[in-house]
Chains A and B, each alone.
Chain A
Amino acid sequence: MNWGTLRLLYIHELKMLLRARRTVVMSIVVPALIMPIVLVGSKYSTDRRARALAETTYRYVVTGPEAGRVRGLIRDNVDGTLPQFLPEETSAADPARSLENGLIHFYIQTSRNPADAVPVVQIVFRGDRDVSRNGSERMSDLLRRARRNQADVLLAARGFPAGPNQVFPVEPESIASAAQVTGSDVGRFLTVILVMLMFTGGSIVAMDIIAGEKERGTLETLLTTAAGRAEIVTAKQLAITSVGIFIALIQALNFLIYIRFRLIELPAGFAIELPLVSILNLLLLFLPLAAAIAAVLLMLSAYAKTYKEAQLYFFPVYLLGLVPALAAVLPGIRSRSAIALVPIANVSVAVREILMGRPDQPMIFVTFGVMAVTGIWLMRTSARMLTREDIIAPGHFEAETLLGGPGLFRKRVLRWFALMWAVIFAVAANIPQLSTFRAQLLFNEVVVFAGASLLMIKVYRLNIREALSLRSVRPAVWLAALIAIPAGHVMSFAVFRLVNTVIPAPQQLLEQFSRDFIPKDMPAWELYFFLAVLPAICEEIGFRGVLLYGLRRKLKPVELALAVGLIFGMFHITLFRIVPTAFMGVILTAVAVMTGSIFPGILIHMGNNAFAVWAADSGLALQSLRWSDYGAAALIFALAMWIMWRTRASSSGCP
């Protein structure tokens, strides 16, 4: 690293940013101004409202046989102990009409229960009018208090020693200090807020800093200078981090000012205690967090070819970053768990523990380590992206757009799958006719997966044998596939359990889901058909057929298996299923790549699903397996994979 160059570049970047008026305004000035404007506005309107409510004289009417008694109660209790409540009784021939017309704010209707002659008091108001609702609430408070007072008086009159409240006093007392309680509350959200600020503040800058440079053509100029890639990326990374931190600080300062000027009321019992150690710990976590977010933004910017494209990617990445930051909101998660290995989520949890005054020092270091490694890895990836050749000379030839055919298909395949995803989760989920078990499966599997795949083959004039890998395989491969079925199923369950230790899946939810969804009287053969045969064929055609074919030339085999597997997982959206399904998807893709054929995958997929149906039906509890059993399954599974690997050359050799 050449420090002189780094310094020069860093200053250069900041200078460029400060001179881009639009960037400065959008990323610094606007956020800094919007907050106070919103706060002042909302304070002004709540103040006004409170004043208006307090100054109102509430007009009401009392009707019914107990009116006299109620009037007496109101008179005796309206002694100003209820602050700023000025009730004033009027009279009206038709109280309901008067209320409707706004002549009175509410009315009190009394009656007598015909069975036991107990008086009943009803307050009628209009919930859509602030004043009416407020008046009726105050009146009901008043009457309730009156009732209590009366009860006390009656009890005392019958020789009861004191008010009932004093007989058996219950007083909860928390041993946590006010600061710990506040810390726990603030800690839940602090990381999320910081992540939001860093992302939004850093994004405008980040997009300008590479994607913008690419678009303006200055990146090529910069890359032909003596500055190294590492210095260039580091300087950009530092610039984004600085701006992100700067914006976060400004917002924090903003916040303190509002509290100081009471634009924001702090809740009762609010107390923050931050000893020096806590501050240092927070810095230890927030600095790598800021750096990692900056690196993500930088990578996004380096990946995009234009400014517009970068903006397009921003939102999904932003959401993806927010999800782990919410970890501290979940109850009962501690940093001494697998969560420590999940970037951002680990910071979120550790920060809350620090603010609660219960820092777990070793885990803070682990978290720091994980974040630092993540940040460095992201930075190196962005540096590599700068050396990617199409960054300078982006995809020249759009000829295939005109010609169509497989070339265009490879460019469009991901769009197709995004569309399929949207159809399944947006369209299908909202059409009631498609919500039954049979209809939904038929629609998703036959229409979406198989139908869209065949449509792609037709539209792009693909060779169907190649696109779907319709090839026969050796008997040994079939054998291996058969072995792989139970072993693979057990392993994907193991993955499910592993994921469970990080994100616990509510068990009832899962069970209820399948109970409600699967019709009870369904014959076994139909169950197996809908849950095993149909998905295996249709999903394999979609994922290990066309998707794999479309991505094949772009990715190396391992990346390919991961990508197809992950996309496969995304189509099984219940949070708890994504990872295990993706795991199965990776395996199935690997099988398809190794054997060069779609058929063994269909068999494994079908077998796996059938196994699941059978296990659920016969009450086989995979939960009771021990980790050693999973190990054995992994071994058997590895054996099956090895057999396929051994035979791969002969079966995937043909073009």
Chain B
Amino acid sequence: MSYPVLVRGLTKTFYDESRGEIRAVDGIDFECGEGEIFGLLGANGAGKTTTLRMLSTILTPTSGSAAILNHDVVRDPEGVRKHLGFYSAGTALYPRLTARETIEFFARINQYPSSRVPERVRYLVDRFGISKYADVRVEKLSTGMKQKVSLARTVAHDPPIIIFDEPTVGLDVLNALEAQQTIKELRDEGKTIIFSTHIMSEAERLCDRIAIIHGGRILDCDTLAGLREKTGKHYLEDIFVQYAGRPAE
């Protein structure tokens, strides 16, 4: 069968002036099924962001391949991005647009059928509960409000595949829970979701399958139950340490 997301032998080598060659991602394979939340669990510097950036075509792979709905990230980057929503702590909003304008802009730029854009904007404003401040410029909004607008702009064009790179970094507990809730709802609507985090509890709670990534390699990839069975440990934290070894290296 064909997977919505298919990654084979994906590798990214950075060349840093002082550190020399860095294999940030080192030949990883995985695939995600429709309507699942696929988790990338790894410590800082494990290669999560680099992997997801290659999937979203911001970075070009050094070798290997990745495809989103059969669009190859190297050969057809625009086709990939059209079907993708990408959310990370790094993807900021335009401060001088209003919330409503933001959603509209991202719907159009991602080629959502233009006749249906107004309807889509209304729906999202409603769904994310931002109608009260929909016409206020983003720069005036609080962190929580911004986060909602950010989520709305990520799915503005109704993409079948959504990538969340450590979405809860820098959020307080309530906002983080709300983001998690949204991600679950999106999964239930049938979206394929790739979700990266270094927080064990988050991965435990959300992910249908978890890939443990360390030093640019995927050490194992299974459901939580599968991982428990393989390691004989219950808590994800212990499972993770068993795979990754002592964290202090």
Residues of A bordering B, CB below 8 Å: 5, 8-9, 12, 15-16, 19-20, 216-218, 220-228, 387, 389, 392-393, 395-397, 399-400, 403, 406-408, 410-411, 553-554
Q: Does B16 contact A (CB under 8 A)?
A: yes
Q: How far is the CA of A389 from the CA of B50 in the complex (A)?
A: 11
Q: Does B111 contact A (CB under 8 A)?
A: yes
Q: Are A218 and B92 in contact (CB under 8 A)?
A: yes
11 further contact pairs, Cβ within 8 A, besides A220-B92, A221-B93, A226-B82: A16-B96, A16-B97, A220-B91, A221-B153, A222-B109, A224-B58, A225-B109, A226-B111, A389-B14, A392-B53, A397-B19
Q: Does B219 contact A (CB under 8 A)?
A: no
Q: Are B91 and A221 in contact (CB under 8 A)?
A: yes
Mark B69-111 against chain A: 1 for CB-CB distance below 8 A, else 0: 0000000001001101010101111111100000001101111
Chain B residue at minimum C-beta to C-beta distance from A222: B109
Q: Does B147 contact A (CB under 8 A)?
A: no
What are the residues of chain B within 8 A of A396 when measuring CB–CB? 16
CB < 8 Å neighbour of A225 from B16, B97, B110: B110
Q: Does B65 contact A (CB under 8 A)?
A: no
Q: How far is the CA of A15 from the CA of B153 in the complex (A)?
A: 18
Chain A residue at minimum C-beta to C-beta distance from B153: A221
Q: Are B58 and A223 in contact (CB under 8 A)?
A: yes
**How far apart are B23's CB and chain A's nearest CB, in angstroms?**
15
Q: How far is the CA of A318 from the CA of B224 in the complex (A)?
A: 60
Q: Does B56 contact A (CB under 8 A)?
A: yes
Known: A216-B92, A217-B92. A226 touches B109 (CB 8 A): yes
Chain A residue at minimum C-beta to C-beta distance from B94: A218
Q: How far is the CA of A220 from the CA of B165 in the complex (A)?
A: 13
CB < 8 Å neighbour of A226 from B59, B78, B92: B78
Size band of the interface chain B makes with A? 20 to 34
**How far apart are A406's CB and chain B's nearest CB, in angstroms?**
8
What are the residues of chain B within 8 A of A227 when measuring CB–CB? 78, 109
Q: Are A221 and B17 in contact (CB under 8 A)?
A: no
What are the residues of chain A within 8 A of B88 when measuring CB–CB? 220
Q: Are A397 and B18 in contact (CB under 8 A)?
A: yes
Known: A226-B109, A407-B18, A554-B17. A217 touches B95 (CB 8 A): no
Q: Are A410 and B53 in contact (CB under 8 A)?
A: no
Q: How far is the CA of A468 from the CA of B209 in the complex (A)?
A: 55
Chain A residue at minimum C-beta to C-beta distance from B19: A397
What are the residues of chain B within 8 A of A408 when measuring CB–CB? 18
Q: Are B96 and A217 in contact (CB under 8 A)?
A: no
Residues of B bordering A, CB below 8 Å: 14, 16-19, 49, 53, 56-60, 78, 81-82, 84, 86, 88, 90-97, 105-106, 108-111, 153, 157
**How far apart are B137's CB and chain A's nearest CB, in angstroms?**
8
Q: How far is the CA of A218 from the CA of B58 in the complex (A)?
A: 13
What are the residues of chain A within 8 A of B57 when measuring CB–CB? 224
Q: Which of A221, A393, A399, A554 has the most CB of B within 10 A?
A: A221
Q: Are B109 and A216 in contact (CB under 8 A)?
A: no
**How far apart are B101's CB and chain A's nearest CB, in angstroms?**
8
Interface pairs (8), CB distance under 8 Å: A20-B96, A218-B91, A218-B94, A222-B109, A225-B109, A392-B90, A397-B16, A399-B18
Q: Are A226 and B91 in contact (CB under 8 A)?
A: no
Q: Are A410 and B96 in contact (CB under 8 A)?
A: no
Known: A16-B96, A216-B95, A228-B78. A410 touches B18 (CB 8 A): yes
Q: Which of A228, A393, A397 has the most CB of B within 10 A?
A: A393
**How far apart are A611's CB and chain B's nearest CB, in angstroms?**
39
Q: How far is the CA of A216 from the CA of B59 in the complex (A)?
A: 20
Chain A residue at minimum C-beta to C-beta distance from B89: A217
CB < 8 Å neighbour of A400 from B18, B58, B108: B18
Q: How far is the CA of A396 from the CA of B15 in the complex (A)?
A: 12
What are the residues of chain A within 8 A of B96 when measuring CB–CB? 15-16, 19-20
What are the residues of chain A within 8 A of B14 when measuring CB–CB? 389
Nearest 10 CB-CB pairs, A to B? Answer: A407-B18, A217-B92, A224-B86, A226-B82, A221-B91, A19-B96, A400-B18, A226-B81, A226-B110, A225-B109
Q: Are A220 and B90 in contact (CB under 8 A)?
A: yes
**How far apart are B195's CB and chain A's nearest CB, in angstroms?**
16
Q: How far is the CA of A9 from the CA of B110 in the complex (A)?
A: 11
Q: Are A411 and B91 in contact (CB under 8 A)?
A: no
Chain B residue at minimum C-beta to C-beta distance from A224: B86
Chain A residue at minimum C-beta to C-beta distance from B15: A553
What are the residues of chain B within 8 A of A389 when measuring CB–CB? 14, 59-60
Q: How far is the CA of A578 from the CA of B58 in the complex (A)?
A: 40
Chain B residue at minimum C-beta to C-beta distance from A387: B60
**How far apart are A279's CB and chain B's nearest CB, in angstroms?**
37
**How far apart are A549's CB and chain B's nearest CB, in angstroms?**
13
CB < 8 Å neighbour of B93 from A8, A218, A387, A400: A218
Q: Are A411 and B17 in contact (CB under 8 A)?
A: yes
Known: A224-B84, A407-B17. A5 touches B90 (CB 8 A): no
Q: How far is the CA of A221 from the CA of B18 in the complex (A)?
A: 29
Q: Are A8 and B109 in contact (CB under 8 A)?
A: yes
